[in-house]
A and B are shown apart, each in its own frame.
Chain A
Amino acid sequence: DAGITQSPRHKVTETGTPVTLRCHQTENHRYMYWYRQDPGHGLRLIHYSYGVKDTDKGEVSDGYSVSRSKTEDFLLTLESATSSQTSVYFCAIMGDLYIGQFFGPGTRLTVL
């Protein structure tokens, strides 16, 4: 299994509070991604990174920010959580697009 972990695995928080999700890899892969998965939607890209300090927005980036200060860590921050951000969040890493992405176990976030 690819070395990719996410923390926390479950979180319940209140509207308006800041939340940070962490993705950690031990594969030294260049690309890292944050997705959210909701019923009726495919995985949707929030932000991705193509190197340390190099990040870009995905299709659902509003309300989220990211940081990558080290190759192994990619942080997703909700500055002020809203109920619409209740979702399952997946991190993925990729070294070679012809091999594909490896996914973390997911984080279930509930915003009350």
Chain B
Amino acid sequence: KNEVEQSPQNLTAQEGEFITINCSYSVGISALHWLQQHPGGGIVSLFMLSSGKKKHGRLIATINIQEKHSSLHITASHPRDSAVYICAVVSNTGNQFYFGTGTSLTVIP
């Protein structure tokens, strides 16, 4: 059983499309992070959320604590957005992180 589930697993979009990636979790959390892993393998943090919504450029992340759900949106997608997007939650019982299996996004020019 995974504490964190992401959907879809794979996503192909045309350049310019609006993209949504979903994350559901089953544990109590103190924070949720969205990460990006590029084909070269490096992992970087995009957002930390504990409530509400955050925006950074074309990326928007939302979280609904009651429903235990978060979404990552990409507006006006671009081929350079092609990467694996990973949802991670921090349990509220300690400093352990639980990770989703990732959503592989390919944006076609």
Measured CB to CB, the residues of A under 8 A from B are 31, 33, 35, 40-45, 48, 50, 58, 88, 90, 94, 97-103, 105-106
What residues of A have a CB within 8 angstroms of the CB of B43 in the complex? Answer: 90, 103, 106
- Contact between chains at B95 and A98 (CB < 8 Å): no
Measured CB to CB, the residues of B under 8 A from A are 2, 4, 30-31, 33, 41-45, 48, 50, 86, 88, 90, 95-102
- Contact between chains at A45 and B42 (CB < 8 Å): no
Grouping DSSP codes into helix (H, G, I), strand (E, B) and loop, the A interface class, with mixed when no group exceeds half, is strand
Q: In the complex, how many angstroms separate the beta carbon of B94 from the nearest chain A beta carbon? A: 9
**Distance, CA A97 to CA B88, complexed state (A):** 12
**Distance, CA A31 to CA B45, complexed state (A):** 16
Grouping DSSP codes into helix (H, G, I), strand (E, B) and loop, the B interface class, with mixed when no group exceeds half, is strand
What residues of B have a CB within 8 angstroms of the CB of A102 in the complex? Answer: 45
- Contact between chains at B95 and A97 (CB < 8 Å): yes
- Contact between chains at B2 and A42 (CB < 8 Å): yes
Task: Point out the residue from A35, A90, A98 that lies within 8 Å of B31, measured CB to CB.
Answer: A98
Between-chain CB contacts (< 8 Å), 10 pairs: A35-B99, A41-B101, A42-B86, A42-B101, A58-B96, A98-B31, A99-B48, A100-B33, A103-B44, A105-B41
- Contact between chains at B41 and A45 (CB < 8 Å): no
What residues of B have a CB within 8 angstroms of the CB of A35 in the complex? Answer: 99
Of all chain B residues, which has the CB nearest A30? B95
Of all chain A residues, which has the CB nearest B96? A45
What residues of A have a CB within 8 angstroms of the CB of B30 in the complex? Answer: 97
Q: In the complex, how many angstroms separate the beta carbon of B39 from the nearest chain A beta carbon? A: 13
